[in-house]
């Protein structure tokens, strides 16, 4: 499973990219607006850090506007993927962008039938928001299972399943077990994924033992 980082904070992207495990980045206008920087400049900088798909979201909700905006954003870098909302005009825009050879990430997906429509429109990726479904008392991972199984039934559908709105490390674990193509993970969850108290305990014991041997002190 590919791991994307879900943030527009350049410092965080540099930090986790240094781990060597980041395959791409997802952003949205709200995340970039918080930085106070120019949208296009941030996307270009992110592309210089991570050599993989970088999602940049359109703000228009009309097909023509989405296609125009998406075409402009795609010109920033070859790795830019255009995020388009899963609405009727978004599906039409996805079809038009795909015809231009522009990759798309159809976002705000909450049902398997929506995902099927996105795939039929030519989406490169579709982003089901599992955390928001969990918030409503539904089981978000059930949606991932449905979409993965549906896409596997039809090998001609090449759309990747990108698990979004991840709230905990178990979401990542379940996404991998279900065979999702990608999980986009917030920085705080990345930290939780790498940490484990037994790792810390084992490392501390190893270092203490090594220090004892190095100084020649007797071991207990």
pLDDT value at position 218?
Answer: 56
Share of the chain above pLDDT 70, in %: 97
CATH 3.20.20.70 for domain 2-215, yes or no, is yes
pLDDT value at position 219?
Answer: 52
Rounded mean pLDDT of 81-110?
98
pLDDT digits (tens, 9 = 90+) for 27-60: 988 878 877 889 999 999 999 999 999 999 999 9
pTM for the whole structure: 0.91
Whether 83 is catalytic is yes
pLDDT confidence bin for 213, thresholds 50/70/90: confident
Are the beta carbons of 204 and 29 closer than 8 angstroms? no
Is pLDDT above 80 for 26? yes
Higher pLDDT, 111 or 204: 111
pLDDT value at position 171?
Answer: 98
DSSP 53-120: -EEEE----SHHHHHHHHHHHHTT-TTEEEEEESSHHHHHHHHHHHHTT--EEEEEE-SHHHHHHHHH
Residue-range domain boundaries for the chain: 2-215
Catalytic position from the list 2, 15, 34, 83: 83
pLDDT value at position 22?
Answer: 98
Specify the DSSP class assigned to residue 164: B
Instruction: Supply angle C-alpha 64, 29, 15, rounded to 5.
Output: 135
């Amino acid at each position: 499973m590919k791991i994307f980082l879900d943030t527009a904070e350049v410092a965080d992207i540099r930090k986790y990219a240094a781990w060597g495990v980041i395959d791409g980045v997802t952003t949205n206008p709200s995340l970039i607006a918080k930085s106070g920087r120019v949208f296009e400049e941030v996307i270009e900088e992110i592309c210089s850090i991570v050599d993989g798909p970088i999602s940049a979201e359109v703000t228009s909700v009309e097909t023509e506007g989405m296609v125009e905006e998406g075409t402009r954003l795609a010109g920033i870098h070859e790795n830019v993927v255009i995020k388009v909302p899963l609405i009727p005009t978004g599906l039409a825009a996805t079809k038009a962008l795909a015809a231009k050879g522009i990759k798309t990430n159809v976002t705000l997906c909450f049902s398997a039938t929506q995902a099927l429509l996105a795939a039929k429109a030519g989406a490169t990726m579709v982003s089901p928001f599992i955390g928001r479904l969990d918030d409503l008392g539904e089981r978000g991972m059930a949606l991932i299972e449905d979409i993965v199984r549906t896409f596997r039934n039809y090998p001609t559908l090449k759309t990747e399943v990108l698990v979004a709105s991840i709230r905990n490390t178990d979401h990542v674990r379940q996404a991998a077990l279900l065979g999702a193509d990608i999980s986009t993970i917030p920085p705080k969850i990345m930290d939780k994924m790498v940490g484990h108290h037994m790792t810390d305990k084992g490392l501390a014991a190893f270092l203490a033992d090594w220090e004892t041997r190095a100084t020649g002190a007797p071991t207990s």
